[in-house]
């Protein structure tokens, strides 16, 4: 992936205040302090019930390759960075511990999807890059999954390269879309580097360049007899496009012993047009010719088309997927939650005027509770590091904010979600292949109740705290708010 990775591996993909903070820590008594940071998000895109974890592979690649070049150091010298810190960066070696939720896992607000433990300086330096990779790719994977669920089994193709906001977003966005469930891509690099199946169709300019639509279709069929997909809406889908396509199939492909792959409709009332097209193709002897649909599709349009009986075999989605146009921001944040002092973990909390921004302190573990009978996920529970959930006996869940709301669960299994990725800077994680991740994602989505997967007003999936973690959080809130009131 050198063609797209070189820039995204650079330690300079950060913001200067991260460098300034790290420089300050380095030249203070905080230099050797061990810190714990959580990466989490506060709201799912599109007001959905959950998101999909993606971007971990790029995080791993980045952390494996952090190295400051001489030109980087010279630039930072010009920005006033201390010589002592520049010398440290010159010989930089990543040495943090990192845990993460595997790619393809459904994730929920306020739970850590990446946990970092290490020297304060290092843990601070990597903040921006980690957020950039996880935010962008989790956003696209989540949108892709919405589209795939809306299609009810019909293939969804990622066609976003031309609409992507940069080459990196195009490439890694296609990978994230595949994790979320998209079957194919129009991008060459995602096909070449990730092995995602590629799909291609005729473009409108091909039709316009010839004297007639029929001639354009014939020439295309001659050049691509094994993968012939023609676009039929350049002039008039029903009166011109489909009749000329059928004529070209009969005149060029059939004598060669070939069959057409598909037609593409890119405008108009696609539900209506697809029904008419299906009938015309079937009557002409081409029931095996698929119908592809494009034209600024999203999950709501796709869902409506499916419910109205559209005869579409592949939904092509570009701009509204690769930019997640309806909800283009994944609000991931990276917050300090603890420091170590003489071997003891000291919890830290970030209070705010906005209650929703109050963080969950201390070093934590994340568990997902599954019902043994149905296999469905019941809730996620955050515990203190070293604290476990005994799934051999009933367990009481309670809402962290409305503590009187309680539920006792039994006959369940508690599975830890955070996996060790780096140990003292060395990668100890065996990355699964992309198809494995995609299959895992589909399996994990099936563990969610349908109510959680609704597009409109989804049921809230609970992320609860253990009693001890809740006690520590509540104590810190009272201590800090009390101190403010006294002053």
Residue ranges covered by each domain of the chain:
2-140+328-362+415-452+467-486, 145-322
What's residue 7's pLDDT? 56
Architecture of the domain defined by 2-140+328-362+415-452+467-486: Alpha-Beta Barrel (3.20)
Closest listed residue to residue 113, CA positions, set 138, 96, 94: 138
Q: Cβ atoms within 10 A of the Cβ of 357, count? A: 12
pLDDT tens-digit series, residues 110-122 = 999 999 999 999 9
H-type helices in 111-166, by residue range? 120-125, 127-151
**pLDDT at residue 68 above 80?**
yes
- The alpha helices in 388-430, defined as continuous H runs, are none
Q: Which residues contact 195 (CB under 8 A, 6 or more apart)?
A: 434, 435
- Number of neighbours of residue 147 by Cβ within 10 angstroms: 26
Going by DSSP bridges, is the β-strand pair 155-158/314-317 parallel, antiparallel, or unpaired? parallel
Contact 332, 134 (CB under 8 A): yes
The yes-or-no verdict on residue 385 having pLDDT over 70 is yes
Residue 115's DSSP bridge partners are 38, 99
Q: Identify the CATH number of the domain defined by range 145-322.
A: 3.20.20.70
pLDDT at 363: 97
pLDDT at 357: 86
- Rounded Cα gap, residues 207 and 12, in angstroms: 46
Which residues does 432 contact at the CB level (< 8 Å), separation at least 6?
102, 103, 440
Q: Which of the pair, 95 or 357, is modelled with greater confidence?
A: 95
Backbone angles phi, psi at 382, to 5 degrees: -95, 130
User: Stretch 457-473: mean pLDDT, rounded?
Assistant: 96
| Start-to-end C-alpha separation, the chain | 56
């Amino acid at each position: 992936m050198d063609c797209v990775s070189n820039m995204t591996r650079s330690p300079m993909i950060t913001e200067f205040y991260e460098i300034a903070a790290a420089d300050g820590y380095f030249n203070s008594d905080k230099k050797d302090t061990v810190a714990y940071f959580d990466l989490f998000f506060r709201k799912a895109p599109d007001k959905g019930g959950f998101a999909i974890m993606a971007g971990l592979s790029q995080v791993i690649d980045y952390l494996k390759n952090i190295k400051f070049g001489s030109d980087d150091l010279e630039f930072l010298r010009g920005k006033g960075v201390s010589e002592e810190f520049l010398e440290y960066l010159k010989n930089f070696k990543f040495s943090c511990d990192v845990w993460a939720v595997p790619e393809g896992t459904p994730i929920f607000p306020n739970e850590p999807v990446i946990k970092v433990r290490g020297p304060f300086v290092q843990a601070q330096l990597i903040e921006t890059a980690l957020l950039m990779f996880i935010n962008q790719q989790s956003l696209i994977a989540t949108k892709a999954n919405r589209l795939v669920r809306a299609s009810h089994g019909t293939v969804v193709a990622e066609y976003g390269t031309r609409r992507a906001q940069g080459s990196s977003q195009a490439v890694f966005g296609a990978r994230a879309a595949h994790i979320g469930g998209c079957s194919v891509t129009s991008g060459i690099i995602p096909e070449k580097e990730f092995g995602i199946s590629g799909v291609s169709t005729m473009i409108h300019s091909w039709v316009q360049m010839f004297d007639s639509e029929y001639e354009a279709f014939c020439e295309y069929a001659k050049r691509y007899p094994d993968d012939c997909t023609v676009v039929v809406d350049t002039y008039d889908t029903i009166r011109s496009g489909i009749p000329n396509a059928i004529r070209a199939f009969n005149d060029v492909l059939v004598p060669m012993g070939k069959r057409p792959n598909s037609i593409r409709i890119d405008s108009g009332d696609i539900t209506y047009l697809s029904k008419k097209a299906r009938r015309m193709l079937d009557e002409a002897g081409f029931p095996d010719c698929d119908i592809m649909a494009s034209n600024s599709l999203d999950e709501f349009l796709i869902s409506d088309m499916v419910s109205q009986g559209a005869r579409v075999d592949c939904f092509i989605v570009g701009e509204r997927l690769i930019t997640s146009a309806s909800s283009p921001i994944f609000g991931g944040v990276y917050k300090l939650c603890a420091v170590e002092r003489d071997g003891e973990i000291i919890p830290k909390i970030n209070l705010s005027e906005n209650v929703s921004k109050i963080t969950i302190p201390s070093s934590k573990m994340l568990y997902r509770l599954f019902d043994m009978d149905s296999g469905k996920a019941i809730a996620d529970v955050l515990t203190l590091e070293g604290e476990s959930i005994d799934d051999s006996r009933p367990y009481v869940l309670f809402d962290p904010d409305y503590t009187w709301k309680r539920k006792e669960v039994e006959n369940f299994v508690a599975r830890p979600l955070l996996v060790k990725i780096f140990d003292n800077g060395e990668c100890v994680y065996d990355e699964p292949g992309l198809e494995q991740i995609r299959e895992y994602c589909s399996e994990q989505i099936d563990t969610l109740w349908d109510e959680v997967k609704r597009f409109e007003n989804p049921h809230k999936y609970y992320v609860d705290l253990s009693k001890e973690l809740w006690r520590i959080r509540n104590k810190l809130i009272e201590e800090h708010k009390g101190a403010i009131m006294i002053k």
